A = this chain, B = another copy of it.
Amino acid sequence: MARTASLSGFPEWLPQERLVELHVLDTLRKTFELHGFSSIETRAVETVGQLLRKGEIDKEVYGLSRLQDDEAPDASTLDKHDPHALALHFDLTVPFARYVVENAGYLAFPFRRYQIQKVWRGERPQEGRAREFTQADIDVVGDGELPFRYDVEIALVIAEALSALPIPDFRLRINNRKLAEGFYRGIGLTDTAGVLRSIDKLEKIGAAKVAELLKSELGASDEQAALALQLASIRTEDTSFVAQVRALGVSDDLLEEGLSELEQVIEAAVHRAPGKVIADLSIARGLDYYTGTVVETVLVGHEQLGSICSGGRYDALASKGNRTFPGVGLSIGVTRLVSRILSQELATASRSVPTAVLVALNDDQSWSAAQDVAAQLRGRGIATEVAAKAEKFGKQIKFADRRGIPFVWFTDDDGKHQVKDIRSGEQVDADPASWAPSAEDLHVRVTTT
């Protein structure tokens, strides 16, 4: 089913595949709104100056230039040093931070928003990575301060949202930067960002090579490297990680703060999202500017897919003069999820079109009467099409079958109505003012296979 994209890195879905994606998007939206998150969208472009605000961009960015620029007949050029030059956003966090600063006077804080949009990364095509994909982000952002409880809440909302999707079992793997940084400081490793970057490579290069890195690049002793790796090996489904960390005998105020924060998240998750959330002290999220909670998420049995939902806490998501906006948020990789659902046929749509009923034509003059029947059905929420040509009934039924429409409606010359379930062949008398398909057939359903 999943075909090769005609342009590498830019996936497109067939209509029946799109139904699966729509189901995922609708489910996420419904969950987010039930938890009081407001929808926003930001423009697809940011200025290069905005994208560079936090220094180097480690993501590949597409710059924009006008093709009809008359001054450059052969090529259109983008000056990379012009802060006003435009580029496509590569995530939804940078645009959201700008939006919050620009609209702070119009927003009620803590501001809860979800944002489901495409983002672009100008990856080299040969890497075969997606260059256009959809992300679904939720964040809560405060004005000056943001209670830690939102960290707990965000994790629970995401666990609930993912549980509602037609995907395999998943695990939110949660750590806390304060815990990790406090621990490193407590054992005398002061370049905590450097240690995090090394630990971040654990899954890729293994413990032995990370130990080497810690020693060669950060001057760690054997014992320091061993302790850092011991911390990163802790993984618990409950709050027992606290005792395991304490058993390593390191004391530091920041470590204590991080332990307490992570404990709150795990404690709530054990109760409210049992089995879905684990404390995983190897999670580092090396290059990002998180300051507390950090999260990655794997699909069980699909770990090599990478994280399908990541994020965490920023003490300063944005700032405006001396006003800072702390935030906590998570981002779901919708395209990554949907690609996997489709390529491995983890879920399918119950039919390939929204239409439940095709109204057949007796003859060419009956089109208007057929539209009357269709309007009655639609008025009661039943998606209905009218045949365009009065072909033989067999052909009209075949047309419905080919399109995946389950019911065909017939009206004879005396105005008697019948409806046929073309799957079973059963044909019954029906009244357009009251007939309805079963709840199962009313709308397209997407279910795990």
Q: Which A residues form the contact surface with B (CB < 8 A)?
A: 3, 5-7, 10-15, 18-19, 22, 33-45, 47-48, 57, 60-68, 73-81, 86-88, 98-99, 102-103, 106-108, 110-113, 118, 120, 122, 132, 147, 149-150, 153, 156, 268, 271-272, 352-355, 367-368, 371, 375, 378, 381-386, 388-389, 402-405
**Are B75 and A66 touching (Cβ within 8 A)?**
no
Choice from B11, B44, B353, B388 contacting A118 with Cβ under 8 Å: B44
**Are B15 and A383 touching (Cβ within 8 A)?**
no
Shortest CB distance A378–B (Å)? 5
Query: A36 CA to B41 CA in the complex, in Å?
Result: 28
Collect the chain B residues with CB atoms within 8 Å of residue A5's CB: 43
Collect the chain B residues with CB atoms within 8 Å of residue A147's CB: 388-389
Collect the chain B residues with CB atoms within 8 Å of residue A48's CB: 67
Shortest CB distance A409–B (Å)? 13
Collect the chain B residues with CB atoms within 8 Å of residue A61's CB: 66-68
Shortest CB distance A129–B (Å)? 13
In addition to A62-B65, A73-B80, 16 A-B residue pairs with Cβ atoms within 8 Å of each other are: A10-B45, A13-B40, A14-B106, A15-B40, A18-B41, A34-B354, A34-B384, A36-B354, A36-B355, A57-B67, A60-B66, A61-B68, A62-B64, A63-B64, A63-B65, A74-B80
Collect the chain B residues with CB atoms within 8 Å of residue A389's CB: 147, 149
Query: A150 CA to B153 CA in the complex, in Å?
Result: 50
**Are B74 and A66 touching (Cβ within 8 A)?**
no
Closest residue of chain B to A267 (Cβ to Cβ) is B368
Closest residue of chain B to A152 (Cβ to Cβ) is B367
Collect the chain B residues with CB atoms within 8 Å of residue A10's CB: 43, 45
Top 4 nearest A-B pairs (CB, nearest first) are A36-B355, A36-B385, A15-B38, A66-B122
A67-B87, A367-B149 given; A43·B12 CB < 8 A: yes
Query: A43 CA to B119 CA in the complex, in Å?
Result: 11
Q: How many copies does the complex hold?
A: 2
Collect the chain B residues with CB atoms within 8 Å of residue A47's CB: 7
Choice from B38, B77, B132, B149 contacting A43 with Cβ under 8 Å: B132
Main secondary structure of the interface of A (DSSP, over half): mixed
**Are B81 and A78 touching (Cβ within 8 A)?**
no
User: For A34, A272, A352, A353, which residue has the most chain B Cβ atoms within 10 angstroms?
Assistant: A34
Shortest CB distance A106–B (Å)? 5
Choice from B76, B149, B381, B386 contacting A153 with Cβ under 8 Å: B386
Choice from B13, B99, B108, B403 contacting A403 with Cβ under 8 Å: B108
Collect the chain B residues with CB atoms within 8 Å of residue A18's CB: 38-41
Collect the chain B residues with CB atoms within 8 Å of residue A43's CB: 5, 7, 10-12, 132
Shortest CB distance A203–B (Å)? 25
Shortest CB distance A351–B (Å)? 11
Query: A308 CA to B371 CA in the complex, in Å?
Result: 26
A39-B22, A40-B18, A147-B389 given; A34·B381 CB < 8 A: yes
**Are B37 and A354 touching (Cβ within 8 A)?**
yes
Query: A99 CA to B6 CA in the complex, in Å?
Result: 9
Shortest CB distance A21–B (Å)? 8
Collect the chain B residues with CB atoms within 8 Å of residue A383's CB: 33-36
Collect the chain B residues with CB atoms within 8 Å of residue A106's CB: 3, 14
**Are B74 and A63 touching (Cβ within 8 A)?**
no
Closest residue of chain B to A73 (Cβ to Cβ) is B80
Query: A402 CA to B143 CA in the complex, in Å?
Result: 14
A14-B103, A40-B18, A271-B368 given; A150·B388 CB < 8 A: yes
Query: A111 CA to B14 CA in the complex, in Å?
Result: 12
